[in-house]
Every structure is written in structure tokens, then in C-alpha cells.
């Protein structure tokens, strides 16, 4: 006799002896040890026998296989998601009169689909802009492949805000708890209004120059020229090899102060070559995909007393980024040029076309 059936017989016998479910469970554990039925099963069978069940066998089942996961439903679900990519599993289940689990199985296993969140991008690129992107990246990649020193001679520049308080991300505030423990609650906060702007110049070896904009001052062409003068002095001191050879290039974005006539004249006067940078291209900006995320991640969650403390904290974090990280950043830049070419000028962050 099957040991499970044997225990059911004993449970039925205990019911006739007016034993409680707890007493029955203890007797089974005394006799069968580790092979005894679980508490839930003992209590379930005990209740059934109290209510008049006679048989010690499992109830017979129809054995009818599920017919909802079939070729017809696979085709229909495929057609529905092609018509509307935002359709929910609940809507699919209601329309086809099948359960949600079957819909999930068809979507994941039969159709190989996953529901992905849309990525916000800064601009809807035209076909001409995409072609310009790909063309610029092809030129830069060709130069890097023909000149081993090209990438290491690039000085990148950008600016960003540093806040008195910038709240942590959900990932940063995650905590380790045991299974079943409800997540802690966190008040949604916004960055503080007290902030200061930092302008950073860096290359594959680290920070060349950084400077904070005076409070209330707008970054215009005069301010940017003044910062460029300070950057050239820092370059002469920190990168004497680049300064001596003059073989370095500037990579900055296309903000209006950067492209002003007076700035262009200053760059020409000092023989500073500016690399082309595509419009609306965070995927190709080292500051967007590397430097400022690194900086702001380290500053998030800290409340600084005043502007001076913000500047000191930002400076410490900038100078604390290891040289290897900058080297990897510029190596990654070459890979991103290739990705842009492969994606024909589309946004590609996350290895997906947009």
C-alpha cells in the first residue's frame, strides 16, 4: 500500500477515535517520522473525514488538458500586440476568454516577447540628423583607428548643476530584508533650489580643470572664454606633453556660448581644434554617460550646509574618480561611435534602437 494512502487510513481511524487534528498529526510523526504527511495535508484530510468523506483515495479528475494555449490563440495574441504594443495581459485574457497565466506563457515562451518601458530621448531626430550623426562618428572612429594618440589627446568639456540636497534614487535607498517583509516607505523629494554650476574639462587621464560659476552669473561667451583661459593654464601645468606638442583637441557640445563668434575667434587664435559633436546626443557625451552620473551618484543623499560645502564636496568627488575610470570612458566612447554607425544614427543606449 502507498505510504500516503496508509496514513490517510490512520487519519480516518483517528477521527473515529475522536482524536483532534493536532493529536493525529503528532501520532503520525511518532510513527512515520520524516515521511509523515505535512501539517496542511493532515488537517485537510482530517476535516474531510469529520465531514463524512469515506474514500482514502484522491478524488478523480477529468484529465482534460488545457486547450487555451493553442496555435489559434498564439496567432491571435501575436496579431493583437502588433496592432497595439501597449495592450495589457488583462485585456488579452478578457478578449480571448483565457486566463492571464496562459497569456503570459504565450507571450514569453511562444512569441518570445517582453514588455519594455520606452526610453525618454531629448529629441525626435530627423533622417538628415541621423545621417549627420553616423557620418560624424564614422569620421571620428576612422581618425582613432589611424592615430593611436587621437583619443588620448581629446579634452572633453561640459557643465552641470550640483545641488545642496539631491535625493537618492530608489536603487540607492534599497535595503536588505528577509523574505515577506514589506518594503519601507520613503517620502518623495525634489532637489533643493540652492545649487551651483560646475564646468569640467577632462581627458583619458583624469580632470584637467574644473571651475564653479559665480552665483547668479549666466554662462555666456565672455564667461566661457574666461574659463578657457584658465583651462589652458591648467593644461600647460598638468599635461605638459599635450601643451608642448599642441596636438590636442577640444570636445564640447553645441551650446550657444560655445559656438559664439568671439569663442570661435579665441579658439582659432590659439590653434585649438574643436571636434564635431552631434546635436542632442547624450549617448555620445562622456559627461552624460560617465562623468556627471558618477559625480551626482556620490553626492546624492547628502545635505550640504552652503554653497562652499557643495563646492568642496564636488571637488573631492571629482578628484577621487580613479584614472582607470577615465581611461575606460574614452575606450567606451570609441565603442559608442561604432554603435551609432551600426544604428544608422539612432539613439542606442541600452543596445536598443529607438
Inter-residue contact 204 to 326 (CB < 8 Å): yes
Separation between Cα atoms, residue 43 and residue 50, nearest integer Å: 10
Give the pLDDT of residue 60: 61
Neighbours of 200 (CB within 10 A): 21
How far CA 278 is from CA of 99, 203, 313, in Å, comes to: 49, 19, 32
For 130, phi and psi rounded to 5 degrees? -65, -40
Q: Please give the domain boundaries of the chain with CATH numbers for all domains.
A: 3-50 (1.10.10.1450), 71-110 (1.10.10), 127-169+191-342 (3.30.420.10)
pTM over 0.75: no
Residue 263 belongs to what H/E stretch? helix 261-269
The DSSP letter of residue 277 is: -
Give the pLDDT of residue 332: 93
**Beta strand pairing call for 206-212 and 195-203:** antiparallel
Separation between Cα atoms, residue 80 and residue 214, nearest integer Å: 57
The DSSP letter of residue 321 is: S
Among 68, 131, 76, 123, smallest CA distance to 100 is for 68
**Beta strand pairing call for 249-251 and 273-274:** parallel
Among 171, 230, 177, 162, smallest CA distance to 201 is for 230
Neighbours of 326 (CB within 10 A): 21
pLDDT tens column, 199-251: 999 999 999 999 999 998 999 999 999 999 999 999 999 999 999 999 899 99
Low-confidence stretches of the chain (pLDDT beneath 50): 351-354
Q: Which SS3 state, helix, strand or coil, does residue 93 take?
A: helix
Separation between Cα atoms, residue 97 and residue 337, nearest integer Å: 48
Which residue in the block uniquely carries the three cell numbers 500500500?
Answer: 1
Give the pLDDT of residue 27: 92
Give the pLDDT of residue 116: 80
- Give residues with Cβ within 8 angstroms of 269, minimum separation 6: none
Exposure letters 238-265 (e unless 16+ CB within 10 A, then b): ebeebbeeeebbbbbbeeebbebeebee
3-state helix, strand, coil in the chain (%, to 5): 50, 10, 40
What is the arrangement of strands in the sheet containing 195-203, beginning at the earlier edge strand? 206-212, 195-203, 154-163, 249-251, 273-274
- Give residues with Cβ within 8 angstroms of 173, minimum separation 6: 186, 301
- Give residues with Cβ within 8 angstroms of 15, minimum separation 6: 24, 46, 49, 50
Inter-residue contact 107 to 113 (CB < 8 Å): yes
Give the pLDDT of residue 333: 93
Amino acid at each position: 500500500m502507498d505510504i500516503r494512502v496508509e496514513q490517510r487510513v490512520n487519519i480516518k481511524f483517528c477521527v473515529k477515535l475522536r482524536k483532534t487534528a493536532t493529536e493525529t498529526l503528532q501520532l503520525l510523526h511518532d510513527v512515520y517520522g520524516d515521511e509523515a504527511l505535512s501539517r496542511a495535508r493532515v488537517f485537510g484530510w482530517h476535516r474531510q473525514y469529520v465531514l463524512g468523506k469515506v474514500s482514502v483515495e484522491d478524488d478523480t479528475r477529468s484529465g482534460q488538458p488545457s486547450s487555451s494555449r493553442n496555435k489559434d490563440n498564439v496567432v491571435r495574441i501575436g496579431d493583437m500586440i502588433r496592432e497595439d504594443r501597449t495592450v495589457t495581459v488583462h485585456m488579452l485574457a478578457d478578449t480571448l476568454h483565457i486566463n492571464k497565466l496562459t497569456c503570459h506563457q504565450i507571450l514569453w515562451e511562444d512569441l518570445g516577447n517582453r514588455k519594455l518601458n520606452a526610453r525618454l530621448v531629448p529629441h525626435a531626430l530627423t533622417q538628415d540628423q541621423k545621417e549627420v550623426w553616423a557620418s560624424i562618428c564614422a569620421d571620428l572612429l576612422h581618425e582613432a583607428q589611424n592615430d593611436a594618440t587621437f583619443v588620448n589627446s581629446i579634452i572633453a568639456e561640459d557643465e552641470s548643476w550640483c545641488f545642496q540636497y539631491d535625493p537618492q534614487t530608489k536603487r540607492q535607498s534599497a535595503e536588505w530584508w528577509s523574505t515577506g517583509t514589506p518594503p519601507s516607505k520613503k517620502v518623495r523629494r525634489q532637489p533643493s533650489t540652492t545649487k551651483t554650476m560646475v564646468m569640467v574639462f577632462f581627458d583619458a587621464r583624469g580632470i584637467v580643470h574644473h571651475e564653479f560659476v559665480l552665483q547668479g552669473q549666466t554662462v555666456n561667451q565672455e564667461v566661457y572664454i574666461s574659463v578657457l583661459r584658465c583651462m589652458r593654464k591648467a593644461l600647460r601645468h598638468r599635461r605638459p606633453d599635450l601643451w608642448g606638442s599642441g596636438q590636442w583637441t577640444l570636445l564640447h557640445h553645441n551650446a550657444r556660448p560655445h559656438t559664439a563668434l568671439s569663442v570661435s575667434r579665441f579658439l582659432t587664435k590659439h590653434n585649438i581644434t574643436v571636434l564635431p559633436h552631434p546635436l542632442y546626443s547624450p549617448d555620445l557625451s562622456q559627461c552624460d554617460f560617465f562623468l556627471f552620473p558618477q559625480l551626482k551618484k556620490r553626492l546624492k543623499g547628502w545635505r550640504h550646509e552652503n554653497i562652499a560645502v557643495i563646492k568642496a564636496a564636488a571637488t573631492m568627488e571629482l578628484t577621487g574618480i580613479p584614472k582607470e575610470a577615465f581611461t575606460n570612458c574614452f575606450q567606451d566612447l570609441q565603442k559608442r561611435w561604432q554603435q551609432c554607425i551600426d544604428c544608422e544614427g539612432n539613439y542606442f543606449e541600452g543596445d536598443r534602437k529607438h
